[in-house]
Structure 1
Amino acid sequence: MQESLKKKRRKRIAKVLFGLVLVGAFLRLYILIPTDVTGISMYPTFVSNDKVVMSTVSSIERFDIVVFTDPMNKTVVKRVIGLPGESIRYEQDQLYVNNQVVAEPFFDRDEINEEPGLWTSNFDSIQTSDQRVPEGEYFLMGDNRRYSYDSRFYGSISSESVIGKVVLLYYPFERIGWH
């Protein structure tokens, strides 16, 4: 009798472990996906070879960091600046959305404040093909505005090109944090 209970218990534990492995594999393959940051366009938020996790089921809001496929079919990490239907403009390092000043709190950092000159050159979304970000698209920019190839050059990105939203920096370990 005791042996039968032990077998049932082992079976139950095996089923639970198998279920956990399946759930973990599902999360890893479809919902939470690790990816690498390459290049300097997201400095100082991310640097080349940082490792992040993106969520494929998160809603996207202004200033979220997303992973997407750019017009050259490269996987890239950038920050959402403009949402569908908005006009975007920069004047003297100040972001204007629909002609309203919008603060960029992620730029309140020593690395940026120590750099002389404008961080973001003057820009108006009229310089791209549309005056407003088209429906179903996002205007994306790198945090290292001086060295970022982004929506200022190739226009807005369709929501279908967005793979996921960065939710966690997990390497290097000393900079682990939620995003």
Structure 2
Amino acid sequence: MANTFSLILVLVTLFTGIIWALDKFVWVPRRQLKAAEVLQLESGEVSEEQVAQVAPQPSWIETSASVFPVIGLVLVLRSFIYEPFQIPSGSMMPTLLVGDFILVEKFAYGLKDPVFRHQLVETGEPERGDVVVFKYPPQPSIDFIKRVVGVPGDTVRYTEDKRLCIKKEGESTCEFVPVDNVHQSGFTQRGVNLIQAEEILGQEPHEILVNPYIPNQTGQYYPTPGLGEWVVPEGQYFVMGDNRDNSKDSRFWGFVPEENLVGKAVGIWISFEFDEQGDSFLPSWVPVGVRFDRIGGID
């Protein structure tokens, strides 16, 4: 769906751009010449009002030429600078909630063409702790958002007691990711209060959630059920959701190739609250409130 929209946007931009160029460099001079002939002006110079009276611009040409700058600006902004996304699930709680609308920095990990996604310019690489949007490898038409846990060369372990351990390339020991401020949170899952903790993967700490009553789902791990250890290949990344027991991520379907990266999530620009209990007379997709306190950067 995302690539389909990009393709439509590119085609509309090309169509309106061609019409704008033809009108400016071909059709406008022709209309001016026609108006000059009709008005029998030797100089050939006519005003816009005279041209409009004698040889009016067709409405479809006027509309196409008028919308081209706007459509072109939207294409550039959305494809190469920032693109808005909506958070559809709770896999990144408590960092991101359902109803959050985020901005994704498209140039963070390279500029790609909006249709075929070939890299045009290399600008940077994901770091541990980055929150990234990417094309879901088993179904690239779907966008996912997770946190980068392992970069190329890392050995990532997720232990039975739900601790992250990372052995960086060139190092001999696996270092546990620091965890602090462990406490019972206000977030619930199936009536159970989740445990919240502060974890430090990159430069800044972030919050994670763990369900103390759900055992590690090692039997579903990819590619080897029962083995919670992965070596990240070159050009790929290991990602996980902050809501560790409610996230289908690299543990279950594998790595994210570099070419699947869409961008880095950098901020929440608006956050809507929805009626999760079904008590409202409004449809479930209609927001019942705005969470202004959530607007800001993403850790």
Both proteins in one fold, TM over 0.5: yes
Q: Which residue of 2 aligns with 1:128?
A: 223
* Distance across 2 between alignment mates of 1:171 and 1:88: 34
Q: Which residue of 2 aligns with 1:5?
A: none
Task: Output the amino acid matched with 1:101.
Answer: F
Task: Output the amino acid matched with 1:68.
Answer: F
* Distance across 2 between alignment mates of 1:106 and 1:69: 33
Q: Which residue of 1 aligns with 2:146?
A: 78
* Distance across 1 between alignment mates of 2:267 and 2:214: 25
- Judged with a 3 Å threshold, the aligned counterparts in structure 2 of structure 1 residues 57 and 79 are, in CA distance, closer, same or farther, namely same
* Distance across 1 between alignment mates of 2:128 and 2:181: 12
* CA displacement 1:2-26 (0-9 Å, x = unmatched): xxxxxxxxxxxxxxxxx9x987863
Q: Which residue of 1 aligns with 2:296?
A: 177
Q: Where does structure 1 differ by over 6 angstroms across 4 or more consecutive aligned residues?
A: 21-25, 105-109
* Distance across 1 between alignment mates of 2:242 and 2:297: 17
Q: Structure 1 regions of 5+ residues with no counterpart?
A: 1-18
Is the 2:148–2:237 contact (alpha carbons within 8 Å) kept by the matching residues of 1?
yes
TM-align CA RMSD: 3.2
Task: Output the amino acid matched with 2:176.
Answer: V
* Distance across 2 between alignment mates of 1:43 and 1:132: 26
* Distance across 1 between alignment mates of 2:84 and 2:154: 31
- Judged with a 3 Å threshold, the aligned counterparts in structure 2 of structure 1 residues 131 and 150 are, in CA distance, closer, same or farther, namely closer
1:54 Cα deviation (Å)? 0.6
Q: Which residue of 1 aligns with 2:87?
A: 37
1:177 Cα deviation (Å)? 1.6
Is 1:87 aligned with 2:155?
Answer: yes
* Distance across 1 between alignment mates of 2:240 and 2:264: 14
Q: Which residue of 2 aligns with 1:64?
A: 130
Task: Output the amino acid matched with 2:245.
Answer: R
Is the 2:222–2:254 contact (alpha carbons within 8 Å) kept by the matching residues of 1?
no
- What is the number of equivalent residue pairs in this alignment? 158
* TM-score, normalised relative to structure 1: 0.74
* Distance across 2 between alignment mates of 1:138 and 1:108: 30
1:109 Cα deviation (Å)? 8.5
Secondary structure at 1:174 match in 2: helix
* TM-score, normalised relative to structure 2: 0.46
Is 1:113 aligned with 2:196?
Answer: yes
Task: Output the amino acid matched with 2:196.
Answer: N
Which one is further off, 93-102 or 155-164? 93-102
1:128 Cα deviation (Å)? 2.9
Highest RCO, 1 vs 2 (Cα 8 Å, sep ≥ 6): 1
Is the 1:65–1:78 contact (alpha carbons within 8 Å) kept by the matching residues of 2?
yes
* Distance across 1 between alignment mates of 2:105 and 2:131: 11
Secondary structure at 1:145 match in 2: coil
Q: Structure 2 regions of 5+ residues with no counterpart?
A: 1-68, 109-123, 168-173, 187-194, 198-209, 272-291
